[in-house]
Amino acid sequence: MLVASGLVKHYGGVTALDGVGITLDAGEVHALVGENGAGKSTLVKIMSGVVRPEGGTVELDGAPVRFADARQAAAQGVAIVSQELMTYDDLTVLENLFPYGAPRRGGLVSTREMRRLAGPVLAELGLDPPPHARVGELPLADRQLLEISRALLQEPRVLILDEPTSALPRDAAARLAAVTRRLAERGLAVLYISHFLEEVMRVATRVTVLRDGRVVLAGEPVADVGLDSLVTAMLGQPARHPAPAAAAPRRPGGAAVALTGVTVPGRLGEVSLTAAGGEIVGVAGLQGSGHLAVLDVVCGRARPSSGSVRLPGGRSPRSARHAVTQGVAYISGDRKGRGLMVDKTLWENITSVSWLGQGRGGLMPRRSGLVDRSRGRLERLRVRGDVHARASNLSGGNQQKVVFAKWLDADPAVLALDDPTRGVDVGARSEVHDIVRGLAAEGKVVFIASSDLAELVELCHRVVVLQHGRIVGTLDGDRLTEPELSLAMNAGFAEPPKPSGGG
């Protein structure tokens, strides 16, 4: 149906695509995988008409196509849901669903008509937001699903999903996978781009792998491709199996974070949890179950109404700023929102916490000193990028490493990681994991929440599971597996919360 062939594209001296072709057939889910920088985004941009190739063609039903923008692409039946959220946060749910002209009656926008059209699509995705809520107030997962609903309302024949589940919790991702397959059965051609390889294996019928701007695996049936050979195709070498979590080098009496009976109204109830230096402690739970609130109280962004939080220095975090000065680092998967100043250079980003946040280095340090220190940080984390380059020029994985670099520059004792590898490729993910293990080995306390359960299993010494703001279980050793974790998060979730303390 949609056929691209021989696509070539350069950015400056960098070859993004070098003779890439892909064929999307009606009724299939075609997965596109590859590391960051392999050319996936460029291919998507060309197929959706945002970027013009230097060579090659894109044909829809045998006729060459050219779209001026996403709206024209949509009019011809190609809908794209991009990786970055493109919702209008100040508009309502309904207004967001009809960005190119809402249905009208007598010249005025008809809310009733909008509801009638949107109802089935929202229901299919299991989405039930109040129709007049401002989209900015919805949880991230709902916003992502809303964007997919918007694409479906255009009744496309080709649907391109670029990292659709990177922001989704597991249940929503599963729902989306089911919907994706159903759409294909209805005759849509779906291009499915994802970093989650297991998800790809489950959802897709065929898979194309890009590496360094070339096709290394062209539309193979997923059933014939194993996970290992997929990873090999992507990375160009056999996958390094993640090292099993090292035993916690607990240093008795060393630096520790202790939560004692912490209650935050509406978010946490009587949570007690101690993490020693050198320990990597995961916090897990379904959306809204309070695992992120644990990170918030450690980072001083939520203050307990009762109970206490003690940081290694003996203090309790009074505010986000106070926590930072006490050596708490907060690293989010939301790099562009919470991590980086994308319009600034790497050295300005890297020195921003230690110099501007903690106030180290005085009122007017020498710029060359700051730059040299940043260069050292980049080299130690093996970031490919010049200190004077802008953060916006880096790939997602390297951007995330810059976020690590800036927090390490502040010499933290405690790290709170919130989905630290969201949207980064497999290679960068394992590098980030190595960094985290190294930090723990240095005696730092690490808390981590992740939408990627495999990440928690690979990385953590133990994982604390929360439901309804209370700790319902702790997994470690042999019991720390993905199925066990998923079970602990979901089991009995629908039942009313039992009053229970936590271990």
In the complex, minimum distance from the CB of residue 189 to other proteins, in angstroms, rounded to a whole number: 27
Strand partners of residue 280:
446
Query: Which three-class secondary structure state does DSSP give residue 134?
Result: strand
* HEC secondary structure over 452-473: CHHHHHHHCCEEEEEECCEEEE
The CB density around residue 305, as the number of other CB atoms within 10 Å, is 11
Q: Does 52 bind other proteins (CB under 8 A)?
A: no
Contact assessment for residue 192 and residue 29, using Cβ atoms and an 8 Å cutoff: yes
Contact with other proteins (CB under 8 A) among 132, 338, 382, 384:
338
Rounded CA separation 221/234 (Å): 16
**CA atoms lying within 13 Å on the CB side of residue 413:** 19
To other proteins, the closest distance from the beta carbon of 85 in angstroms equals 15
Enumerate the β-bridge partners of residue 2.
Answer: 24, 60
Point out which span in 134-142, 210-218, 342-350, 488-496 binds other proteins (CB under 8 A): 342-350
Q: Does 344 bind other proteins (CB under 8 A)?
A: yes
Among residue numbers 14 through 33, which ones bind other proteins (CB under 8 A)? 14
Task: Using alpha carbons, select from 452, 458, 443 the residue that is nearest to residue 486.
Answer: 452
Distance CA 223, CA 229 (A): 12
Q: Taking the complex as a whole, how short is the minimal distance between the CB of residue 274 and other proteins, in angstroms? A: 24
How many of the other CB atoms lie within 10 Å of CB of 436?
Answer: 23
Tell the smallest beta-carbon distance from residue 84 to other proteins (Å). 13
| H or E element in which residue 368 lies | helix 367-380
C-alpha span between 173 and 199 (Å, rounded):
9
C-alpha 92/C-alpha 81 separation (Å) is: 19
Q: Which helix (H) or strand (E) holds 464?
A: strand 462-467
Least spacing, CB of residue 388 vs other proteins, in Å: 4
- By CB under 8 A, which span of 62-70, 157-165, 252-260, 365-373 interacts with other proteins? 365-373
Q: Does the protein bind other proteins through residue 361 (CB under 8 A)?
A: yes
Q: What is the DSSP letter of 267?
A: T
Query: What SS3 class is residue 228?
Result: helix
Nearer to other proteins, 29 or 340 (CB): 340
DSSP-derived letter for residue 205 is S
Binding-residue total with other proteins (CB under 8 A): 45
- Residue 176 binding other proteins, by CB under 8 A: no
382 binds other proteins (CB under 8 A): no
Of 366, 380, 382, 479, the one binding other proteins (CB under 8 A) is: 366
**Strand 328-332 to strand 414-418: parallel, antiparallel, or no bridges (unpaired)?**
parallel
Our finding on whether 367 is near other proteins (CB under 8 A) is: yes
Q: Are strands 206-211 and 29-33 parallel, antiparallel or unpaired?
A: parallel
CB of 299 to other proteins, least distance (A): 8
Q: Name which position in 102, 117, 178, 320 contacts other proteins (CB under 8 A).
A: 320
Binding residue for other proteins, selected from 321, 380, 382, 384, defined by CB under 8 A: 321
Q: Is 124 in the site for other proteins (CB under 8 A)?
A: no
Q: Tokens in use for 437?
A: 């293990």
SS (H, E, C) 106-118: CCEECHHHHHHHH
Site mask for other proteins (CB under 8 A), range 396-435, x = bound:
----------x-----------------------------
Taking the C-alpha atoms of residue 401 and residue 421, their distance in angstroms, rounded to an integer, is: 10
Q: Is 384 in the site for other proteins (CB under 8 A)?
A: no
Q: How far is the CB of 344 from other proteins (least distance, A)?
A: 6
In the bound complex, what is the minimum distance in angstroms from residue 311's beta carbon to other proteins? 14
Q: Tokens 């439901």: give the residue.
A: 467
Contact region with other proteins (CB under 8 A), list: 308-316, 366-374, 422-430, 462-470: 366-374
Among 363, 477, 478, 483, binds other proteins (CB under 8 A): 363
Q: In whole angstroms, how close is the CB of 321 to other proteins at the nearest point?
A: 5
Which of 63, 108, 364, 494 touches other proteins (CB under 8 A)?
A: 364
Give the x/- contact pattern for other proteins in 261-300, rule: CB under 8 A: ----------------------------------------
Question: Cβ 353 to other proteins, closest distance in Å?
Answer: 5
Closer residue to other proteins, CB minimum distance, 327 or 427: 327
- Residue 257 pairs with which residues in a beta bridge? 275
- Written as one letter, the residue type at 82 is S
| Whole-angstrom distance, CA of residue 306 vs CA of residue 323 | 18
Q: How many residues are given for the chain?
A: 503
Bridging pattern class, strands 158-162 and 189-193:
parallel
State which residue, 129 or 412, has the beta carbon closest to other proteins: 412
499 scored as a contact of other proteins (CB under 8 A): no
353 binds other proteins (CB under 8 A): yes
> Which residues form the interface with other proteins (CB under 8 A)?
11-12, 14, 320-321, 323-325, 330, 332, 337-345, 348, 352-353, 355-359, 361-368, 371-372, 375, 386, 388-390, 392-393, 406
